[in-house]
Amino acid sequence: MADLLLRGARVIDPFQGLDEVLDVAVSRGRVSEVGKGLSGEGREVLEAEGLVLSPGFLDMHVHLRDPGREDEETLESGLEAAVRGGFTAVCCMPNTDPPLDNAPLVEDLVLRARGLGLADLFPVGCVTRGREGKELAEMGLMFASAARVRAFSDDGDPVVDSGLMRRALQYVRRFGGVIISHPEDVSLSRGGQVNEGRVSFALGLRSIPALAEEVMVARDLLLAEETGARLHLAHLSTAGSVRLLREAKARGVRVTAEATPHHLVLSELDIRDYDPVYKVNPPLRTPEDVKELRRALADGTLDAVATDHAPHSPEEKEREFDYAPFGVVGMESAFPVLYTQLVEKGELGLPVLIERLTLGPARALGLEPPDYGEGVRPGARADLVLLDTVTEWVIDASAFASRGKNCPFHGWKVRGRVVLTIKGGKVVYRAPDYRWSREQGEKVRERT
């Protein structure tokens, strides 16, 4: 593992409150020096002037399909996609086959991930055994296991039984865990394909009302308030949910929440010609909902951006709209899409976006050093991402490391590109059309 010097990058580190042009040296897996005018002697020098260096991102909501559907994603392809997207840590959801509802299963997953040496893996354990919604899973044993599971969810489905959800919240409070809610009242959403509104009417597709999400958000906020447990709301999509969240935070409820890039950027108006690449759950909502989600992300009501990365095989996703599965891939397109649509348009500062991809999800999960979040400081584990926010490029889903190519942003012209990802001091991703010289530290940027 060669010593590195990243020279002259704008270092944005939400963990240290740092935003300054600096040199950063990496040695033996850790950040060894941070300062100005550091020597490049004996180091591979990467001239990073004009680039942005930040802690590696944390995606708290991905579906890696492993075990059970390795035709759609494997642990290796999913973690390779993560580091290409700048994520050095990801949380995988438990709706696998079999579901992640016991300690041996999550321990095996973590051990296999460590063997790959790409991104850290933090499995999310099931709330209920087998995700059947009947009895609690072995949450305490998963927390006490070598996998140290901190978050629990039946994501993909809600915990319908309110009494069971209440007991789950009471239980995880004992050891500081967090319940991730998939807020959906299936009695209101069952059979729906798109948002209830002008598009469902125009296309003649069965609809999912905003109320299907908001009813469950309200229930889980009340349960969290009553139990005092930590609750995280996944993939919020409506202005009504944001209002409920904002009011609950004002009352002191221990709640955090995320939004996805596709809900922050796309609306129901993007659904054209029954293209199933836009079929997601919760569905794409109205432009007014998108506007409110963006406002909430900017003011901190929403704590994190999470991709809800959901790969599907082409044979399944390209069925006609009614029969195609919900979900899009997102790890390799998240930063460029958010940078282009939110930062370049002046709706969000770059430091805020980076905070929502690093510190925000870490706080939501209760992740602290040494597991995640050491930042860019001497002695910290070198989990870093280098970003080019200038060069324009086109997203090509066919070139993704993920086995899933179901990306609604394929073909989009964007800025904000991951050019280098470092995990534990090791370069785990280097953009193929960037090259740095060892001798002079001269950066050579070539289009290939």
Model pLDDT for residues 285-339, shown as the tens digit of each residue: 999 999 999 999 999 999 999 999 999 999 999 999 999 999 999 999 999 999 9
- Percent of the chain exceeding pLDDT 90 equals 95
* For residues 192-201, average pLDDT: 94
Residue 232 and residue 206 in contact, taking contact as beta carbons nearer than 8 Å: no
pLDDT, average across residues 7-24: 98
Q: Is 6 helix (H, G, I), strand (E, B) or coil?
A: strand
Whole-number pLDDT of residue 84:
98
How far apart, in whole angstroms, are the C-alpha atoms of residue 175 and residue 189? 34
**Does the pLDDT of residue 439 top 90, yes or no?**
no
Bigger pLDDT: 396 vs 434: 396
Asked if pLDDT for residue 98 goes beyond 60, the answer is yes
Cα 178 from Cα 159, distance rounded (Å): 14
Cα radius of gyration (the chain): 21
- Residue 278: partners with Cβ closer than 8 Å, 6 or more residues away: 266, 270, 271, 272, 284, 408
pTM of the predicted model, to two decimals? 0.95
- pLDDT at site 448: 31
Q: Is the pLDDT of residue 397 over 90?
A: yes
Q: What mean pLDDT do residues 163-168 have?
A: 98
The pLDDT, as a whole number, for residue 435 is 63
Q: Which residue in the list 59, 101, 308, 388 is annotated as catalytic?
A: 308
Residue given tokens 């899009």 in the structure block: 328
Question: In this model, does residue 442 exceed pLDDT 70?
Answer: no
Report the distance separating Cα 171 and Cα 229, nearest Å. Answer: 9
Six token digits for residue 405 = 């190519």
Residues 133-138: what's their mean pLDDT? Answer: 97
Residue 242 makes CB contacts below 8 A (sequence gap 6+) with 236, 292, 293, 295, 296, 301, 302
- For 179-202, give one letter per residue: b (16+ CB within 10 A) or e: bbbbbbbeebbeebbbbbbebbee
pLDDT tier for residue 128 given thresholds of 50, 70 and 90: very high
Query: Given a cut of 60, is residue 444 above it in pLDDT?
Result: no
Provide the pLDDT for residue 446.
Answer: 40
What pLDDT, on a 0 to 100 scale, did the predictor assign at position 433?
A: 75
pLDDT at 437: 47
Is-catalytic flag, 308?
yes
Q: What percent of the chain has pLDDT over 70?
A: 97
**Model confidence at 443: pLDDT above 80:** no
Band the pLDDT of 438: cuts 50, 70, 90. very low
Asked whether 136 and 170 are in contact (CB, 8 A), the reply is no
CB 302 within 8 A of CB 236: yes
Residue with tokens 């690093």: 358
Q: Is the pLDDT of residue 363 over 60?
A: yes
E-assigned strand segments in 151-191: 151-152, 178-181
HEC assignment per residue over the chain: CCCEEEEEEEEEECCCCEEEEEEEEEECCEEEEEECCCCCCCCEEEECCCCEEEECEEEEEECCCCCCCCCCCCHHHHHHHHHHCCEEEEEECCCCCCCCCCHHHHHHHHHHHHHHCCCEECCCECCEHHHCCCCECCHHHHHHCCCCCCEECCCCCCCCCHHHHHHHHHHHHCCCCEEEECCCCHHHHCCCCEECCHHHHHHCCCEECHHHHHHHHHHHHHHHHHHCCEEEECCCCCHHHHHHHHHHHHHCCCEEEEECHHHHHCCHHHCCCCCHHHCCCCCCCCHHHHHHHHHHHHHCCCCEECCCECCCCHHHHCCCHHHCCCCECCCCCHHHHHHHHHHCCCCCCHHHHHHHHCHHHHHHHCCCCCCCCCCCCCCCECCEEEEECCCCEECCHHHCCCCCCCCCCCCCEECCEEEEEEECCEEEEECCCEEECCCCCCEEECCC
pLDDT mean over 107-133 = 97
Mean pLDDT, the chain, rounded, equals: 95
